[in-house]
Structure 1
């Protein structure tokens, strides 16, 4: 991918990411879906009062194998944030890869069986060795209390809405480089939206959860975790989607006639 800068007829400079060897038509349709959801969220009184929205960006397919993505400044991936925080605390995060490879040979991921006791031990080891630090990122980026609260609220809302939307779409490939955070607002932004309808279950390492809500993401939600504002925002979003399902389904009728 290459970053390019274009000068518009208004004299302003616009940055885009030129991406090749990737079909962006699915991303464009998903973004159209997100635009519709934002419109419905703005019209719903409860959703509007809670300031629920999806952070969107422009997707311009220019062919079957390439296209342009709007460049958004001040974004950091979950992987980058986590790696930096671990480095600050002297934690070798690469150790997790070595540990997993030792106990779970990659070719056996789909077939391996882990007993409940072993799974508990594995989970305990990982959580103890690699504690959550995403909340520290919010403290570093938003040191003033009112800014921190506003950023965490936006993070909670955008994370909740995209969690439900991802669940409805069967959105997969939600690894730590496809989830980004805005250093100026705290918004949670998802990219690479072309793995839909539970295709993630067919990956070499199958994705078996409806959406990504790991301990690190929960830690940044505050003392209530996913109980409270996050859960309420999820319920409101799901209700709005159900009330407008006919309009939303029309966006994906094109997949039936022109699957990509």
Structure 2
């Protein structure tokens, strides 16, 4: 959180006439000991998993209404992990493997094919539609979308610099009124994810849902320009980031 505060100070000192306003939204953390502390509640933000789960429930209700003439109760929906294993299990069995085999030994082609199937089963504009429905006017939607693109760029570049991992759907939040992206749970950082049983190799999370919500230009518009500007700002102020509090970043930033 101290690192993000320093980053925001650097953004504030940058000439705002030359580039848009950037901000890394964070929250307060107060250590009380080696194993305890206080963490501020993040208000006004919704986990991406919440948006995905509500979509699952809507689809399940519609399907239940087709199958029954009575108004059905909200049915239970499977978690993403359950959906994944329900597909990867039969795919592995088809090539003579089982789920007991180490994930390191799963054929990459099968894993990619299952991922493709799951992506096709989920609408790519799920997040984009949520942002659209949260706005009352076209101008508000335009402002929120631009804010979302810049905020995604900021947190993607900052996350890359500090080696942030474990970016699952519950750890990435979005404020639907401002478009700001809020990341929580910084436990897996400084590239700790590369040492996990299944190493995390991606620099930041960029799924088809996140990309579609960036607008018609996708990653090649405001997002890419913002990434370049944020990176230049952080590189120019690397001396401030490499203070004793940020010395652990030195090896990663130098690479």
Q: Give the alignment's TM-score, normalised by structure 1.
A: 0.78
Which structure is larger by alpha-carbon Rg, 1 or 2? 2
For residues 107 and 46 of structure 1, what CA distance do their matches in structure 2 show? Answer: 54
- In the other structure, the counterpart of 1:109 is 103
How far is the alpha carbon of 1:156 from its aligned partner?
1.0
Between Structure 1 and Structure 2, the one with more strand by share is: 1
For residues 58 and 17 of structure 2, what CA distance do their matches in structure 1 show? Answer: 38
- In the other structure, the counterpart of 2:230 is 237
- In the other structure, the counterpart of 1:99 is 87
RMSD between aligned alpha carbons? 2.4
How far is the alpha carbon of 1:114 from its aligned partner?
1.8
Higher mean C-alpha deviation, range 192-201 or range 83-92: 83-92
Please say if 1:60 is aligned against 2:54: no
Please say if 1:210 is aligned against 2:203: yes
Please say if 1:128 is aligned against 2:136: no
How far is the alpha carbon of 1:143 from its aligned partner?
3.2
For residues 25 and 180 of structure 2, what CA distance do their matches in structure 1 show? Answer: 7
For residues 165 and 39 of structure 1, what CA distance do their matches in structure 2 show? Answer: 14
Unaligned runs of 5+ in 2: 64-76, 93-98, 251-255
How far is the alpha carbon of 1:47 from its aligned partner?
8.4
Q: Which residue, 227, 230, 251 being the options, matches 2:220?
A: 227
For residues 209 and 139 of structure 1, what CA distance do their matches in structure 2 show? Answer: 29
SS at match of 1:167: helix
Q: Give the alignment's TM-score, normalised by structure 2.
A: 0.79
Please say if 1:253 is aligned against 2:247: yes
Query: Residues 149 and 214 of structure 2 are in contact (CA less than 8 Å); yes or no, is this contact kept in structure 1?
Result: yes
